[in-house]
Amino acid sequence: MPDGAGRSQRQAAYRNRSVHRSRNNRHLQCQFWPAQCQCRTYRQTAARIAPQPVAMAAVSPNESPMSSVSRRTAYRAAIVHSIADPAEQEVDASYEYFADGLLLIEGGKIISVGPAADLLGSLDNDVELIEYPGALITPGFIDTHIHLPQTGMIGAYGEQLLDWLNTYTFPCESQFADPEHSAQVADIFIKELLRNGTTTALVFGSVHKESVEAFFSAAQALDLRMIAGKVLMDRNAPDYLVDTPESGYADSKALIERWHGKGRLSYAVTPRFAPTSSPAQLRLAGQLLTEYPGLYMQTHLSENLQEIEWVKGLFPEREHYLDVYDHFNLLGERSVFAHGVHLCDEQCARLAQTGSAIAFCPTSNLFLGSGLFNLPMAEKHQINVGLGTDVGGGTSFSILQTLNEAYKVMQMQGARLSPFKSLYLATLGGARALRLEDKVGSLKPGNEADFLVLDYNATPLLSYRLKQAKGIEEILFVLMTIGDDRTVKQTWSGGRLVHERG
């Protein structure tokens, strides 16, 4: 996360060094997209023009969130975004791609997007034009399941879910009673999200409200669109890490009153999972959702076979795992259930009926040996599905690498995950799972200007491989298999630069 020091000087230097041209320069296209230019001189010389890397400082967290976004700015590059779920209509109608595109931003919002040839002539003379040769603009990535307190235990060896929780997770999370520790990790966590191109995330805190205070404070400083909640956990965990139904309710209520709807922040009621919350606590979780319409709810569901058997023993009166949550009124259009690896048709039908969503967490499911998520079944029932890194069970903050694992999960089941479905899961699918498609997840006009610049030349291998690519489908697939945090050149949130690769 850039510190903003010397911002004015660095931004001025950036403007002087950037690939920046008047909109009236008739050779603008020739110089950076020579294959599409009919000017012989520029076609011959363009290949010799090597744009230099530029540095642009993000706005300091101490400045007004809107201080750098009022000016109308146009960004030129190849552009792609999802406009529909490829599972619900023809693939070609599920996305828009502009080989030479223009994205126009003002006041933190998207004004227009389309072919540069169509839009350049309509720009006012004072519009700043920033160009990215050899790059692809996409919407910001959306992570629908991730744990802030598990940042320090990512890559913990050798256990499946329940033993892993006791051996690694609970001791690690116990540190978040300390506000200073919470603030330090929140800073690291948000830097990692932005470095990997994640502009919106649904985040688990720890059982301590300090963890959520720290996260929301750090996210608010950059005016990020984030959702988080304090874990509710009053049983089947170490004594040093449990709350009570009453204290969990009171702490959650205080956090809701302080943070929900503040800027671009939202609160999620967060029972860890059914085994660690008593019926009394689950009942109060449902009560919070009733008292505060518009809240989110996040928890885990059917991740591991041993976990499912445990739930049966704890709630013998309930028909199945999902019925536990249903009984306590925890299903709904803003409810997101992580994993859902071992669901039957009946449970999928109920999720669809209530508008609940699933966070598909392939990296975590493979790492912990939990199983393979059945995406085709979720599609059959028209359940909203987003992508989750599930750090620290997941082994990377990178949505690109998470898509790499998602592809393998589908291959192991004899199914294909197309590049356009992958793009959808990482962006618009996540937005729909969070009911935010009118704000983020695509580049449609009116949406918040959360977008990424992906660098085709981020690594020598990526650069070489993409030179062989024959179209946007292949480009996306290569980015999603060998791309990682290095591929993310810039991350923009609300029209503000919040990360630039060093």
- For 255-274, write each residue's pLDDT tens digit: 999 999 999 999 999 999 99
pLDDT, tens only, 341-384: 999 999 999 999 999 999 999 999 999 999 999 999 999 999 99
Complete domains list, the chain, with CATH: 7-139+442-500 (2.30.40.10), 141-397 (3.20.20.140)
Least confident of 6-15, 137-146, 260-269, 405-414: 6-15
**CA gap 14, 8 in Å, rounded:** 10
Give yes or no for residue 24 having a pLDDT over 50.
no
Give the C-alpha separation, 127 to 108, whole Å.
Answer: 15
Computed on alpha carbons and rounded to an integer, the radius of gyration of the chain in Å comes to 23
The answer to whether residues 264 and 257 touch, using CB atoms and an 8 Å cutoff, is no
Share of the chain above pLDDT 90, in %: 81
The average confidence (pLDDT) of the chain is 89
Crossing angle of helices 279-291/245-259, nearest 10°? 20
Q: Is the pLDDT of residue 12 over 90?
A: no
Rounded to 10°, the helix 419-426/399-412 angle is: 130
Q: At which residue do the structure tokens 């089947």 appear?
A: 236
Q: If you average pLDDT over residues 312-316, what whole number do you get?
A: 98
Distances (CA, A) of 478 to 86, 238, 369, 465, 473: 19, 44, 26, 8, 9
The pLDDT confidence band at residue 3, using thresholds 50, 70 and 90, is very low
Confidence of residue 76 (pLDDT cuts 50, 70, 90): very high
pLDDT value at position 310?
97
Q: What is the mean pLDDT of residues 301-327?
A: 97
Of the two residues 31 and 138, the one the predictor is more confident about is: 138
**Band of residue 160 on the pLDDT scale cut at 50, 70, 90:** confident
Query: pLDDT of 403-419, one tens digit each?
Result: 999 999 999 999 999 99
Q: Is the pTM of this model over 0.75?
A: yes
Higher-pLDDT residue of 42, 327: 327
- Return d(Cα 148, Cα 500) in angstroms, integer: 22
The rounded percent of the chain whose pLDDT value lies above 70 is 86
Res 85 pLDDT > 80: yes
Average pLDDT score over residue span 18-42? 37
Does pLDDT of 67 surpass 50?
A: no
Task: List C-alpha distances in Å: 30 to 44, 101, 118, 436.
Answer: 10, 14, 15, 38
- pLDDT value at residue 13: 39
pLDDT in tens, 205-224: 999 999 999 999 999 999 99
